[in-house]
Homo-oligomer: A and B are copies of this chain.
Amino acid sequence: MPSYNAPLKDMQFLLHDVLNIAASDVPGYADLDQGFTSAVLEEAGKLATDVLAPLNAVGDTEGCRLENGVVRTPTGFKAAFDQLREGGWTALDCDPEYGGQGLPYIMGTAVGEIFVSANMAFNMYQGLTHGAYSAIHVHGTVEQKAMYLPKMVSCEWTGTMNLTEPHCGTDLGLMRTKAEPQADGSYKITGQKIFISAGDHDMSSNVIHLVLAKAPGGGEGTKGISLFIVPKFLVNANGTPGARNAVSVGKIEEKMGIHGNATCVMNYDGATGWLLGDLHKGMRAMFTMMNEARLGVGLQGYAVAEAAYQNGLAYAKDRLQGRAVTGAENPQGPADPLIVHPDIRRSLMDQKSFVEGARALTFWAASLIDRSHKLNDEAAEGLVSLMIPVIKGFQTDKGFDAAVLAQQIWGGHGYIEEQGMSQFARDARIAMIYEGANGVQALDLVGRKLAQDGGKHVMAFFEMVKTEVKAHDGDDRMKGFADPLKTASKQLQQAGMFFMQNGMKNPNAALAGSYDFMHLMGHVCMGLMWTRMAKAAYAALDAGTGDKDFYNAKIATGRYYMARQLPACGMHLARIESGAEPVMALAAEAF
């Protein structure tokens, strides 16, 4: 059975050596000193190791059941959810006005990683609630906030997001769910929503559904869409759950993974809902939550990979099979451990260098979100909005690959469900699909984000990379970082140039290369992160502080990424520069 231990040292390294958050001007960051963050993360790690991780396989095996209209979660989930609530973990980065602890978003991100690694399906109940909390927090009236937020901060009530319908996921303009205005200001919501994560369950006394629907007078397509609050139980004047609303679970989907989360078909049969935010501006209201939601999924990508890696590594150290080609390393034993073999090492280094790089990128993005929220820093907001499709698309693709690599180390035992390695791969797979499939992320990046605000943000990103490269000019130690980063960054710029020169004449020339661009940019981001991490590690070594072995390992891991992963950039550029022709040459009928 897999186990999990939170990578506390790696997290502390990022927060303090690399991002130096306690010295930041972001309000609230000054309190985040080594001691405080260490205490928080250590406690989260204990809960993850002792309570959540052991339930991961239980959730996978048992799944959720629909019994007489009620969704039953797997054995132990409810008790664990109570522990999560009682420990205040659900309130970590929520507004103190509604019972939150008011910690910065970056702390929620670090703790979130720990919980996702331990049990992705379980953590989604809280994650979805946090998304719904944010939507109400930003768009709700004073009364709505007072009515829902305190209960959602504590996860006494949980939340959901209802977008997808059977015939439309990406193209929400096709939506059919209707909202009919009532005399009392409420709406009657009618329609079917599918793939609703945490749609219903037995761990909270109410479920607050946020539902996109079309109200009269909004016009065609996405313009007519509004966002509604539709509670499972209507809320009494005194704030307690009252009468059952006309919303029910049609069925629970059988999925490839995340079995511990109830993915529901939700039927709204004239359910009572209240407008959240402006009429006919529902898409905009959803989009304000998009950055955080997608960052959260990008986090899932590497967080599941981290857990898979830990267990792949354990097996590589434990399993005796074959001998090192350079001579026996365990001569007393019947064979050497797998980890002596170069190809196993390659696999482990692929996983490790990805996970640590992705964590750095995610924490950095979280710090940009804090900066954007708390300082109204528009540059930070623009940069993170550029970065989000990369983080979501690249990290979930690579996270899945990494989970598959970890599974592969286990050989045949990795294919057997009993060992738990298959679950990591199956769970990780969904992150490439939901919250905008990765192809849609690539489209968002190339079709929207590159040109946003006149291309200001992507130019700022290039400038930032250039500055980083320049800072290490003539520094021999950093050559293995700065040189490949410079090359990769130039390749990325060249790809962007290709889009500019060809995309105007033929938009397909840009879109045919969008997926490769997303990955190319992902590698450049990772290269930037590894350069910064190496710099911080060298600084610590120079200062003679801390654990020498740890910092040396950091540098070696980064060197691996630069040497072995950044060469993918040339491949992506070549594909992009082959343009639309090879991609679109076949007529649809010729397939």
> Do A169 and B590 touch across chains, with their CB atoms under 8 A apart?
no
Select which of B335, B553, B570, B591 is within 8 A of A313 by beta carbon.
B591
Q: A217 to chain B: closest CB distance in Å?
A: 20
Copy number of this protein in the oligomer? 2
A415 in the interface (beta carbon within 8 A)? yes
> Do B335 and A171 touch across chains, with their CB atoms under 8 A apart?
yes
Set of chain B residues within 8 Å of A559, measured between Cβ atoms: 582, 585
Within 8 A of B (CB), among A533-564: 549, 552-553, 556-557, 559-560, 563-564
A168 in the interface (beta carbon within 8 A)? yes
Set of chain B residues within 8 Å of A342, measured between Cβ atoms: 508, 511-512, 514, 580, 583-584
Given known A-B contacts A321-B170, A415-B256, A429-B415, A349 and B556 have beta carbons under 8 A apart: no
Select which of B326, B432, B560, B583 is within 8 A of A507 by beta carbon.
B326
Report the stretch among A35-43, A87-95, A438-446 that lies at the interface: A438-446
Q: A541 to chain B: closest CB distance in Å?
A: 15
Set of chain B residues within 8 Å of A174, measured between Cβ atoms: 320-321, 334-335
Q: A448 to chain B: closest CB distance in Å?
A: 12
Q: A338 to chain B: closest CB distance in Å?
A: 9
Set of chain B residues within 8 Å of A591, measured between Cβ atoms: 313, 317, 339, 348, 352, 553
A568 in the interface (beta carbon within 8 A)? yes
A583–B342 Cα gap in the complex (Å)?
Answer: 7
> Do A564 and B590 touch across chains, with their CB atoms under 8 A apart?
no
Q: A570 to chain B: closest CB distance in Å?
A: 6
Interface residues of A, dominant DSSP: helix
A325 in the interface (beta carbon within 8 A)? yes
> Do B564 and A582 touch across chains, with their CB atoms under 8 A apart?
yes
Set of chain B residues within 8 Å of A514, measured between Cβ atoms: 342-343
A164–B257 Cα gap in the complex (Å)?
Answer: 28
Select which of B257, B346, B515 is within 8 A of A343 by beta carbon.
B515
Select which of B321, B325, B549 is within 8 A of A169 by beta carbon.
B321
Most chain B CB within a 10 A radius of its CB, from A352, A512, A580: A512
A237 in the interface (beta carbon within 8 A)? no
> Do A254 and B575 touch across chains, with their CB atoms under 8 A apart?
no
For A310, the closest partner residue in chain B by CB is B591
A69 in the interface (beta carbon within 8 A)? no
A99 in the interface (beta carbon within 8 A)? no
Within 8 A of B (CB), among A414-428: 414-418, 422, 425-426
> Do B570 and A575 touch across chains, with their CB atoms under 8 A apart?
no
> Do B511 and A325 touch across chains, with their CB atoms under 8 A apart?
yes
Within 8 A of B (CB), among A388-434: 400, 404, 407-408, 411-412, 414-418, 422, 425-426, 429-430, 432-434
> Do B443 and A253 touch across chains, with their CB atoms under 8 A apart?
no
> Do B322 and A411 touch across chains, with their CB atoms under 8 A apart?
no
A571 in the interface (beta carbon within 8 A)? yes
For A506, the closest partner residue in chain B by CB is B326
> Do B512 and A583 touch across chains, with their CB atoms under 8 A apart?
no
> Do B586 and A564 touch across chains, with their CB atoms under 8 A apart?
no
For A440, the closest partner residue in chain B by CB is B343
Chain A, interface residues (CB within 8 Å), range: 35 or more
Select which of B255, B337, B567 is within 8 A of A570 by beta carbon.
B567
A20 in the interface (beta carbon within 8 A)? no
> Do A563 and B588 touch across chains, with their CB atoms under 8 A apart?
no
A273–B170 Cα gap in the complex (Å)?
Answer: 60
A591–B409 Cα gap in the complex (Å)?
Answer: 15
Set of chain B residues within 8 Å of A168, measured between Cβ atoms: 321
Set of chain B residues within 8 Å of A345, measured between Cβ atoms: 512, 583-584, 586
> Do B348 and A254 touch across chains, with their CB atoms under 8 A apart?
no
A201–B570 Cα gap in the complex (Å)?
Answer: 51
A80 in the interface (beta carbon within 8 A)? no
Set of chain B residues within 8 Å of A434, measured between Cβ atoms: 412
Q: A401 to chain B: closest CB distance in Å?
A: 9
Within 8 A of B (CB), among A287-318: 313, 317
> Do B515 and A195 touch across chains, with their CB atoms under 8 A apart?
no
A563–B584 Cα gap in the complex (Å)?
Answer: 13
Select which of B171, B326, B571, B584 is within 8 A of A322 by beta carbon.
B171
> Do A412 and B511 touch across chains, with their CB atoms under 8 A apart?
no
Set of chain B residues within 8 Å of A426, measured between Cβ atoms: 256, 426
Given known A-B contacts A174-B335, A511-B325, A416 and B578 have beta carbons under 8 A apart: no
> Do A553 and B439 touch across chains, with their CB atoms under 8 A apart?
no
> Do A255 and B416 touch across chains, with their CB atoms under 8 A apart?
yes
For A586, the closest partner residue in chain B by CB is B556
Q: Can you name 6 A-B residue pairings with CB atoms under 8 Å?
A: A164-B412, A195-B412, A341-B439, A345-B583, A408-B433, A567-B574
Knowing that A256-B417, A426-B426, A559-B582 touch, tell me 17 more A-B residue pairs with CB under 8 angstroms.
A171-B335, A174-B320, A255-B415, A255-B417, A256-B415, A325-B508, A326-B507, A340-B588, A342-B580, A345-B512, A348-B591, A404-B429, A408-B433, A553-B591, A556-B585, A563-B578, A567-B570
Instruction: Report, nearest first, the 4 A-B pairs whose CB atoms are least far apart.
Output: A567-B574, A342-B511, A256-B422, A563-B578
